[in-house]
Amino acid sequence: MKIALIGPPKSGKTTIFNALTGAQHEMDKYSPAASEANIGIVQVTDERITLLSELYKPKKTIYANIEFHDFPGIFARESENPESAIYPEIKSCEAFVLILRVFKDEELDELYGPVDPLKMLSHFEDEMILSDMLVVEKRIEKILLGYKRGIKTAAIQIEEKALNLILEQLQANKSIRDLDLAPEEDKAIRGFQFFSAKPLLILLNSSESEFKKQNEALDAIRQRGFMAQVIAGKFEQELSGLNEEDTELFLADMGMEHSIKDRLTMLCYELLGLVSFFTVGTDEVRAWTISKGTNAVNAAGKIHSDLARGFIRAECFGYAALIQHGSEKHLKEKGLFRLEGKEYLVQDGDILNIRFSV
């Protein structure tokens, strides 16, 4: 799972990235924009895996993880650099976390404009829409040229239809994520990795003292249909240098239970509609991340393509039932050990063992 931290210049992306990953990249008001992203992998804390590991005592315990990419600031000025080399890399991420500055800083105000998260959000939406529009127009032009040369397959016609629907959406100044495409249309355009099609989480980066005063802005952003949260980036980054006990005290003071890492991974799971299933055994206990509504054969394919290809049945029981009854043996006695077919929709907390033959 690759998630991009994006935002205007100096909104605190690297500060938040450092807090998340424990990295120590330079955070500076005056440094020019970096030329590439910082990348860090964050383990998804899941106490269920910890408990399963205690139960099975496997050689290896593997938690799910998220790869965060901290990009340099983008869209500094109106339509600046529409072909930036970094865009394809940003668009290859599966979701975006847009970090907007709400902490006060006179110098940053002067350089990048006063704090106005709603205006900045609109600016980002506009720029993403514009950037997507350029891609769509170019591609449609090329397709039409192809038509004249007699290149007109069914697949290209589906693509052209989808692109025209998208163009209409973009011209109405709306994001692609709000457009309902038929599955085959969706498939035809997936390769473009459009900016405005990606799930977007908004994080307001606040000073510690103003942290609790962001409700108005949060409500306004949520009313526009986004998930939004406030974060005290610099405070969190400073916390990451403290020991666990002190961190907990400081967090409790701010009314927070979990570390920034846990809060942000939970938000990303929610935003992306993700759930986890588990595989267990004496060799390995492991968490796998899937989208809600994934069927058993596709879940098996996450583990290995052979398991999907030769899928016979999934042996399945729930994590909660296992903890309640103590062992697989007890589950079997109670009839809680199920056999599921290809189309079974895997649930969060399912423990699967795939029977297959290739």
Ligand X SMILES: Nc1nc2c(ncn2[C@@H]2O[C@H](COP(=O)(O)OP(=O)(O)OP(=O)(O)O)[C@@H](O)[C@H]2O)c(=O)[nH]1
Which residue in 340, 280, 218 sits closest to 57, CA to CA? 280
| DSSP symbols for 82-130 | TT-TTHHHHHTSSEEEEEEE-S--HHHHHHH-S--HHHHHHHHHHHHHH
Q: Please, what is the minimum distance in Å from the beta carbon of residue 218 to Mg ion?
A: 23
205 binds ligand X (CB under 6 A): yes
Instruction: Select from 23, 51, 58, 73 the one that contacts ligand X (CB under 6 A).
Output: 73
Tell me the backbone φ, ψ of residue 66, rounded to 5 degrees.
-125, 135
Instruction: Select from 1, 3, 6, 12 the one that contacts ligand X (CB under 6 A).
Output: 12
Residue nearer to Mg ion on the CB measure, 13 or 69: 13
Q: Are strands 274-279 and 284-291 parallel, antiparallel or unpaired?
A: antiparallel
Q: How does DSSP classify residue 190?
A: G
131 binds Mg ion (CB under 5 A): no
Instruction: Select from 40, 53, 72, 165 the one that contacts ligand X (CB under 6 A).
Output: 72
Residue nearer to ligand X on the CB measure, 1 or 260: 260
69 binds ligand X (CB under 6 A): no
Residue nearer to ligand X on the CB measure, 127 or 185: 127
Measure CA 165 to chain center.
26
88 vs 29: CA distance, rounded Å: 26
Question: Residue 348, class by beta-carbon neighbours within 10 Å (0-12 exposed, 13-18 middle, 19+ buried)?
Answer: middle
Contact pattern from residue 217 through residue 246 relative to ligand X, giving x for each residue in contact according to CB under 6 A and a dash for the rest: ---------------xxx------------
38 binds ligand X (CB under 6 A): no
Q: Hey, is 281 helix, strand or coil?
A: coil
48 binds ligand X (CB under 6 A): no
Instruction: Select from 11, 53, 131, 279 the one that contacts ligand X (CB under 6 A).
Output: 11
**Interface with ligand X (CB under 6 A):** 7, 9-15, 27-29, 33-34, 72-73, 103, 105, 205, 207, 232-234
**Interface with Mg ion (CB under 5 A):** 13-14
